[in-house]
Structure 1
């Protein structure tokens, strides 16, 4: 029977690992509770390493009064996720390991943390000029749709896509990691607080008044150092 009484997160994490994964080699508690950012809906994020596992997977639990997300790896399978997260510029497992609190350790966590921190410090792979041009083209395409759209239902979905593409462009052209959901604004703010709030204010003005002006100006200012909007002359996949 599950324990529905919420207890202190680190204590809950230790009891959880002992109950469900007593033979694991290592376990690390990560996420918002470690960063001091927990809310009423936060869960516990726990990374577990168990040499008996055939492959990595994740599983959700509710116990000790907490929703718990477990990310399970054996002592080698995590490397695939290191590579995947690096290539998509979203270092989820690296961040969890680097910031996490050790719950259990048979002598492997120090090396894991060192490897994770090294990836985080080095940053994602830089975009090539060709990639930047491609991103400029697709942002231009969506921006043109936004400018020309006269149907509010469609316009709302267009502006959401535009915000996603422009956020990615800002972060990646500046050698920063990506995130999703709440992390988009957090990462933008960490990169350039003034720019992040300019972006927020442009979006907020649109949502409140449906005035597109600030969003259009903001996007043009982001693209300007890289050549501005791009349509004429752009090609992809062309062979000579």
Structure 2
């Protein structure tokens, strides 16, 4: 499918190695957006999906996407959206990304590459976006700390084991304050973890709020009401 249509925008994905998927939509819908958010950053933007979701949800914010791969498709998707004037994209490793005006971001999001020890894929594009070769977790952490505004939040989605690994790397630097385990059906184990972080000094003494989300009921093409409610502003089918 070369174009994925949402209620308020469409995502062309002919050239991006990773297509629109549940992980990105979950993160874009789950991340908390504050009325005071003015600068939002999407790390590893790909097609621009999460950046577009943020532009829809935060009508006062300037949204930036950065990716080591080409961002031409993301730019085209932004230009075709209602929020073209508030979206911009840069082709650069986030480790080297320096905002032109020295901005720091109220909200940073990432659906990052996460395979660490597994074999790489013969497809170079898919390897780059799914294996933590060009963006190791410690370098992602350091980039977030450098770019995050005081009081800013960082939200990401990872598989369970990788989420634990990332959280361990962040101890003393970033602290989780909100965490949601995602199951595909009620009988399946948690497959993904959505986590929101604050700087450790800002989260001091604040417990992490844990909950869970189930996507489907277990019947074909039947979704739970909580998943429908979370993604209703985006998916055409809801």
TM-score of the pair, normalised by structure 2: 0.30
The structure with the largest alpha-carbon Rg is 1
TM-score of the pair, normalised by structure 1: 0.30
